[in-house]
């Protein structure tokens, strides 16, 4: 277990910050907090998730450690709480529950300074290893949070405007829903509806924020169209990347029961209409346990997605240059490189 945690810690380096995806009358409390900022040397920092929490754990004792590898003494530079980052990686957004309310903080990732804090009623958290309790829009303005400790029969979600510092909408749904992604302007929420009929079986659904309605038709891969939902939608989300413009989410899922791994390409549309998705199969080995070592990285120009697995000794490249949602069906594994491991 220690070896597994260490390896997962290493492979998160390239992808971590991309992960950091009925109107309410709730009142919020705003305040601005300033903390002393440490001196940050010029150059790039590496952000490492320390204290990895296994899936299913209720512990939130995680932190992000910033390290400056180019400095003369590349030791820990600063520590940040576990949270979600804006697409430019300049701001970290955290939700910390205590005594029936939650504190939302906006933190400068370079200095650790708290730029803005406010509180909302209810218990929510961004410190979840499963990436399904909180999502953030690319620019950081819109955050959706799933209420903690809910039953499988009902789900409550709040939509938060982090710039205004308040809850703008509270959503109540019948059934077990988790968060998958949010559109750039916060007009559409993408949800996973757990069916609880078999392990890891789910539908991808879209919630129209403006109309306060859950769209009837699940989002499916039209290459294997099934009007009632895609039976291949099974597995657990392992890691995620979002396109530079915040208009596509690329989530890597694994299903250890079937020894199956795939990237789920999802267009994030502000204008809600019948949405499509695409699943891209990834290489697997003889042991399903090795699937846990997969990670994703997006090239700086946003044109190539890399799925790497050090335990399997493979790196697969996927061309994702198309800006047209229909173009995702042309996306596939272009090349797989094998290396000794």
Query: For the chain, how many structural domains are there in total?
Result: 1
pLDDT tens, 76-93?
A: 678 888 899 998 889 999
Strands across the sheet containing 202-208: 176-182, 188-194, 202-208, 213-214
Average pLDDT over residues 123-132: 81
Domain hosting 327: range is 21-30+97-104+118-338
Average per-residue pLDDT for the chain: 80
The span from the CA of 291 to the CA of 238, in Å, is 9
Residue 44 lies in a domain: no
The span from the CA of 19 to the CA of 294, in Å, is 15
pLDDT tens, 129-171?
A: 666 899 999 999 999 999 998 888 899 999 999 999 999 999 9
Average pLDDT over residues 286-291: 96
Q: What is the pLDDT of residue 218?
A: 86
Residue 250 lies in a domain: yes
- pLDDT band for position 230 (50/70/90)? low
pLDDT tens, 251-275?
A: 999 999 999 999 999 989 887 766 7
Residue 129 lies in a domain: yes
The span from the CA of 174 to the CA of 164, in Å, is 29
Residue 335, classified by CB atoms within 10 Å of its CB into exposed (0-12), middle (13-18) or buried (19+), is exposed
The span from the CA of 284 to the CA of 275, in Å, is 29
Q: What is the pLDDT of residue 341?
A: 66
Residue 293 lies in a domain: yes
Q: What is the pLDDT of residue 64?
A: 83
Is there a contact between 187 and 270 (Cβ–Cβ < 8 Å)? yes
- CATH number of the domain to which 292 belongs: 2.130.10
Strands 304-309 and 314-319 turn out to be: antiparallel
**Residue with the larger pLDDT of the pair 212 and 234:** 212
Beta bridge partners of 178: 192
Give the DSSP H/E element, type plus range, for residue 296.
strand 294-298
Is there a contact between 171 and 189 (Cβ–Cβ < 8 Å)? yes
Average pLDDT over residues 331-335: 84
Q: What is the pLDDT of residue 145?
A: 98
Q: What is the pLDDT of residue 232?
A: 52
Residue 169 lies in a domain: yes
Residue 91 lies in a domain: no
- Give 232-237's long-range contacts (Cβ < 8 A, gap of 24+): 232/279, 233/201, 233/202, 233/203, 233/204, 234/198, 234/199, 234/200, 234/201, 234/202, 234/258, 234/260, 235/200, 235/260, 235/261, 235/262, 236/55, 236/130, 236/200, 237/130, 237/131, 237/132
Q: What is the pLDDT of residue 123?
A: 96
Structure tokens at 261: 């791994």
Residue 197 lies in a domain: yes
Q: What is the pLDDT of residue 223?
A: 66
The span from the CA of 250 to the CA of 254, in Å, is 13
Is there a contact between 119 and 112 (Cβ–Cβ < 8 Å)? no
Q: 126-138: buried (b, 16+ CB within 10 Å) or exposed (e) per residue?
A: bbbbebbbbbbbb
Residue 242 lies in a domain: yes
């Amino acid at each position: 277990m220690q070896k597994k945690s260490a390896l997962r810690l290493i492979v998160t380096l390239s992808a971590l910050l991309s992960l950091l995806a009925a109107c309410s009358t709730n009142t919020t409390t705003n305040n601005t907090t300033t903390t002393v900022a440490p001196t940050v040397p010029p150059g790039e920092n590496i952000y490492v998730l320390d204290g990895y929490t296994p899936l299913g754990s209720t512990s939130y004792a995680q932190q992000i450690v910033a390290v400056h590898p180019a400095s003369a003494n590349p030791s820990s530079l600063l520590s940040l709480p576990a949270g979600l980052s804006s697409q430019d990686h300049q701001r970290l957004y955290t939700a910390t529950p205590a005594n029936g309310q939650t504190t939302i903080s906006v933190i400068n990732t370079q200095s650790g300074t708290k730029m803005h804090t406010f509180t909302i009623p209810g218990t929510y958290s961004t410190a979840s290893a499963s990436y399904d309790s909180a999502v953030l829009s690319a620019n950081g303005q819109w955050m959706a949070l799933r209420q903690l400790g809910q039953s499988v029969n009902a789900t409550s979600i709040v939509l938060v405007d982090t710039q205004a510092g308040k809850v703008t909408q509270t959503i109540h749904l019948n059934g077990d829903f988790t968060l998958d992604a949010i559109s750039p302007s916060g007009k559409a929420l993408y949800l996973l509806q757990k069916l609880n009929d078999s392990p890891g079986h789910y539908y991808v659904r879209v919630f129209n924020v403006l109309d306060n309605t859950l769209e009837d038709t699940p989002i499916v891969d039209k290459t294997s169209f099934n009007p009632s939902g895609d039976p291949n939608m099974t597995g657990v989300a392992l890691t995620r990347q979002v396109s530079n413009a915040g208009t596509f989410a690329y989530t890597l899922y694994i299903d250890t029961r079937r020894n199956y791994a795939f990237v789920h390409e999802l267009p994030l549309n502000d204008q809600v209409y019948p949405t499509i998705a695409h699943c891209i199969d990834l290489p697997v080995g003889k042991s399903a346990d090795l699937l846990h070592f997969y990670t994703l990285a997006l090239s700086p120009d946003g044109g190539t997605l890399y799925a790497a697995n050090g335990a399997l000794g493979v790196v697969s490249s996927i061309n994702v240059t198309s800006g047209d949602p229909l173009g995702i069906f042309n996306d596939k594994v272009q090349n797989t490189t094998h290396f000794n491991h």
